[in-house]
Amino acid sequence: MLITEKTTYQENGVNITVEPKPHASQFTPRDSLGRPKFYGRRKGRVVRKAKTTLLDAFLPQIKINEHTVFDKQTMFGKPVEGVCLEIGFGDGQHLAGQALNHPELGFIGAEVFQNGVANLLTLITGIREGNRLPEKICLLPERTDNIRVFDDDIRLLFERIPDGFLDKIFVLFPDPWPKKRHAHRRFINPDNLREISRILKKGGILRVATDHKIYKGWTLRQLAAVPDFKWCAKCGADWKHEPSDWVQTKYQQKALREGRRPVFLDFEKI
């Protein structure tokens, strides 16, 4: 049901008031339920049986749900010193690698594509892809204590994340939507940058990586239009080479195989 005006109704004797979502901007068109419209794939043609089992058995243990409270002391398996968010983690190599390299930090990963979420689970359970699972499997605490997963569109989670909560946000190889008429679908856009700026702490870093010329120019222009961010690069070497804390991603490897050179754009929230 699309709610177009403030409506009050009764459910089990309780008055419930619902309000329409704010007017949709060109960058965040809404579906018939009032949610931001998502243009990518949610599910591949096949989710192997083993991966379905992983999703059923293990995702609930690290999933961000409606009860999750965003608190550095309690939302992970242990208290953490800071929290990073990766938006669109794909197959999860970067998220899992960062979490392993930085046990003192917490990592939230958001991914809509179910097969990608399942792949992250294979990485953090140490299980190789295949149709059969070993009889005994468990989440490896050293790989999961500091990872939490939101298996849906990050834009649905934004409003629950407190102001200045995050130390770093990664948007790595986002879908470039290169056609001009699809430009409004690009994730780096004024609506999402407003939320990213709100949830990132002062001095925090937004890192965008891309192998697409159009997306590089687009990102620099979008960020230049927002006064809350400063591009950290001092010279070409700063954005043409992998940052020191980098972990390679699947899309980066594909770009390199196909002869495209990625760029790594770090912006500081000021």
Residues labelled catalytic: 175
| 174 contributes a contact to ligand SAM by CB under 6 A | yes
Q: Is there a contact between 188 and 219 (Cβ–Cβ < 8 Å)?
A: yes
Write down the residue that tokens 């790595």 correspond to: 172
Site for ligand SAM in 73-92 (CB under 6 A): 87-90
| 253 Cβ contact list (under 8 Å, min separation 6) | none
Minimum gap (Å) between residue 15 Cβ and ligand SAM: 33
Q: What residues between 97 and 126 interact with ligand SAM by CB under 6 A? A: 110-113, 116
Closest approach of Cβ 209 to ligand SAM, in Å?
Answer: 7
Q: Is residue 18 helix, strand or coil?
A: strand
Closest CB to ligand SAM among residues 207, 269: 207
How many other C-beta atoms can be found within 10 angstroms of the C-beta atom of residue 169? 23
Q: Is 155 in the site for ligand SAM (CB under 6 A)?
A: yes
Tell me which residue has tokens 């009050």: 8
| 233: its two tokens | 């690069």
The candidate with the shortest Cα–Cα distance to 186, out of 194, 177, 195, is 177
Question: Closer to ligand SAM at the Cβ: 137 or 222?
Answer: 222
| In the complex, residue closest to ligand SAM by CB | 88
Does the footprint of ligand SAM cover residue 40 (CB under 6 A)? Answer: yes
- CB count in 10 Å sphere of residue 155: 18
Q: Please, what is the minimum distance in Å from the beta carbon of residue 185 to ligand SAM?
A: 9
Contact 94, 248 (CB under 8 A): yes
Residue 218 or residue 251: which is nearer to ligand SAM going by CB? 251
Binding site for ligand SAM (CB under 6 A): 40, 87-90, 110-113, 116, 153-155, 172-175, 187, 249-252
